Amino acid sequence: MRIYVPRDAAAKALGADAVAAAVSAEAARRGLQVDLIRNGSRGMVWLEPLVEVVTDLGRIAFGPMEPGDVARLFDAPDSHPKALGLTEELPWMVRQTRLTFARVGVIDPLSLKEYELHHGLKGLKRALSMTPEDVVKEVTDSGLRGRGGAGFPTGIKWKTVHDAPGPQKYIVCNADEGDSATFADRMLMEGDPFCLIEGMAIAGIAVGATRGYLYTRSEYPDAIEVMESAIQVARAEGLLGQNVLGSGYAFDMEVRMGAGAYVCGEETSLLNSLEGKRGTVRAKPPLPALQGFLGRPTVVNNVISLASVPIIMDRGAAFYRNFGIGRSHGTMPLQIAGNVRHGGLFETAFGLTLGEIVEDIGGGTRTGRPVKAVQIGGPLGAYFPRELFDTPFGYEEFTAAGGLIGHAGLTVFDDSADMLKLARFAMEFCAIESCGKCTPCRIGAVRGMETLDRIAAGDAAAMPVLASLCDTMKAGSLCALGGFTPYPVMSAVTHFPDDFALKKEAAE
Ligand SMILES: Cc1cc2nc3c(=O)[nH]c(=O)nc-3n(C[C@H](O)[C@H](O)[C@H](O)COP(=O)(O)O)c2cc1C
């Protein structure tokens, strides 16, 4: 008998370890040999801990499971009250296009053998048979853009590093994942670590880097544990080291842990932190691609950008490019969170409308009240009202609507949300997380909180002050922390004027 219980941190937070222990105890009590696999999450977080039992028909899902539900798995799985049907046939799974997350939740994350059985290492093997220039071209032609937020074309970044002279170059994977409502990086690292290792090795070969760093945060102990174990396995099996898969190429990597400052997800602060310095932003130029880690040419890419490379190299640029809309090619792992019925990770080609994502896939709010606003792209992303629900999910489309897709985290709010309070929270977040380097970010966010307090107290004269403060922050901040905080603030003012006007009336 083979049973899967996720080791994913979200599943564990919801009790997966206790369920796994109950499975082992029940098997021992019955004298049964059970193959218990701790897999990644399938992404249906509202059903976690989601347990799967292997049958002749396929894997049957049960959830959300509690230890007390386990005994019946062994007695009468077919009539189990928490049986959901074949996992692969659940609507959440059927509607997805899982390219980057194809193996997450499916395989044992630390089995390199299973990884290979599920198309792993094919991309790397192909890359090893090509010239570095052709690998860079393949990634460029795929249309892959950075999934960390800015959407910069990955192939162009790689070409800059490839063309830069230097005795030593680096690949830095940005796994800081500080945006609210984002968990795709964590899920990928916990559920399919070899995919990220493979992507980093391909990047190294493409640009001529022999060393990689995975920078993540102390709040991700499970991801760190899985990645470190996977790196050990990869070294032992010749996937990392002086002679990658016997090719003569050298590439090795290690995990570095930051202390969870939001600004350390910004690539230049990250590089400072990685160098053991205080995490403050650096002025650009020079670009990290030319003078990055220790002043050497460095690729800084997000986890999902790098983890999307193996399938691009395996199936080819055209295969990947054909998914999506406009200049948004391929797929994006949407992370649906907040006040929503079906929260979790849903990978799909770009192009679904915001309304389809929130209402059809997310199932509307968990409270059953109407959706009022959706914040997309983390704490620096704009609030979208229902009137913008026909916006297709794509980089340019969201920019045109006054927002950004960022790392594709969506936080849903129902009609009880107070947008003035949320605008104040955006300013407060910026004030707390600012690295302090730029005055408009460091001081502006504090003045922004005060100004919003004045508005809440009914001071109408504070409204234009808020607008000009936001303009100053946008124009005068080196990085997007101060530069983008005005977007949630001003989108709240623009789309939900009543929430600002009502405060005034109440004060009068
Ligand atoms: C304040 C701030 C925080 C950021 N946090 C992250 C993060 O947690 N993860 C990430 O991949 N990119 C983050 N970014 C974007 C990075 O600076 C950079 O653009 C990204 O790592 C590049 O990788 P990509 O091209 O693969 O997206 C942040 C940017 C800013 C301004």
Considering only CA atoms, which residue is closest to atom 13 of ligand 1?
Answer: 265
Range with the poorest average pLDDT among 45-49, 77-81, 364-368, 417-421: 77-81
Ligand 1 contacts CB of residue 145 (under 6 A): no
DSSP, collapsed to helix, strand or coil, labels residue 449 as helix
pLDDT band with cut points at 50, 70 and 90 for residue 364: very high
pLDDT band with cut points at 50, 70 and 90 for residue 501: confident
User: Would you state the pLDDT for residue 77?
Assistant: 84
CA of 450 to the centre of ligand 1 (A): 29
pLDDT above 60 (res 504)? no
CA of 180 to the centre of ligand 1 (A): 13
Average pLDDT over residues 237-254: 98
pLDDT band with cut points at 50, 70 and 90 for residue 397: very high
Average pLDDT over residues 357-361: 98
Ligand 1 contacts CB of residue 177 (under 6 A): yes
As annotated, the residues of the chain forming the CATH 3.10.20.600 domain(s) are 324-412
Parallel/antiparallel/unpaired status of strands 409-414 and 371-376: antiparallel
Q: Domain 112-322, what architecture?
A: 3-Layer(aba) Sandwich (3.40)
Ligand 1 contacts CB of residue 300 (under 6 A): yes
DSSP, collapsed to helix, strand or coil, labels residue 35 as strand
CA of 266 to the centre of ligand 1 (A): 5
- Total-model pTM: 0.97
As annotated, the residues of the chain forming the CATH 1.20.1440.230 domain(s) are 419-500
Q: Pick left, alpha or beta for residue 53 (phi over 0 → left; psi -120 to 50 → alpha; otherwise beta).
A: beta
Average pLDDT over residues 301-321: 98
State both tokens at 94.
């059927």
User: Would you state the pLDDT for residue 183?
Assistant: 98
Cα–Cα distance, 394 to 408 (Å, whole number): 10
Looking at the chain, the whole-number percentage of residues with pLDDT higher than 70 is: 99
pLDDT above 70 (res 10)? yes
Ligand 1 contacts CB of residue 65 (under 6 A): no
Residues 33 and 15: beta-carbon distance below 8 Å: no
Give domain 324-412's CATH number out of 2.130.10.10, 1.10.3720.10, 3.30.930.10, 3.10.20.600. 3.10.20.600
Looking from the CA of 282 toward its CB, the CA atoms found within 13 Å total 20
Considering only CA atoms, which residue is closest to atom 7 of ligand 1?
Answer: 265
- Is the CATH number of domain 2-95 3.40.30? yes
User: How open is the CA angle 484-337-147, to the nearest 5 degrees?
Assistant: 50
Q: Which residue has the higher pLDDT, 293 or 507?
A: 293
pLDDT band with cut points at 50, 70 and 90 for residue 78: confident
Average pLDDT over residues 146-150: 94
Considering only CA atoms, which residue is closest to atom 29 of ligand 1?
Answer: 266
User: Would you state the pLDDT for residue 381?
Assistant: 95
pLDDT band with cut points at 50, 70 and 90 for residue 261: very high
pLDDT above 80 (res 115)? yes
Closest ligand 1 atom, CA of 182? 8
As annotated, the residues of the chain forming the CATH 3.40.50.11540 domain(s) are 112-322
pLDDT band with cut points at 50, 70 and 90 for residue 503: low
pLDDT above 90 (res 505)? no
Average pLDDT over residues 380-406: 97
Q: What is the pLDDT of residues 472-482, one digit of tens each?
A: 999 988 899 99
pLDDT band with cut points at 50, 70 and 90 for residue 199: very high
Ligand 1 contacts CB of residue 433 (under 6 A): no
Q: Which residue has the higher pLDDT, 180 or 353?
A: 353
Ligand 1 contacts CB of residue 13 (under 6 A): no
User: Would you state the pLDDT for residue 76?
Assistant: 83
- Is the CATH number of domain 419-500 3.90.650.10? no
Closest ligand 1 atom, CA of 174? 11
Ligand 1 contacts CB of residue 176 (under 6 A): yes
Beta strands in 225-330 (DSSP E): 252-258, 298-302, 324-325, 328-329
pLDDT band with cut points at 50, 70 and 90 for residue 507: low
CA of 17 to the centre of ligand 1 (A): 32
Ligand 1 contacts CB of residue 263 (under 6 A): yes
| Residue among 174, 262, 404, 479 to mutate when testing ligand 1 (max atoms within 8 A of CB) | 174
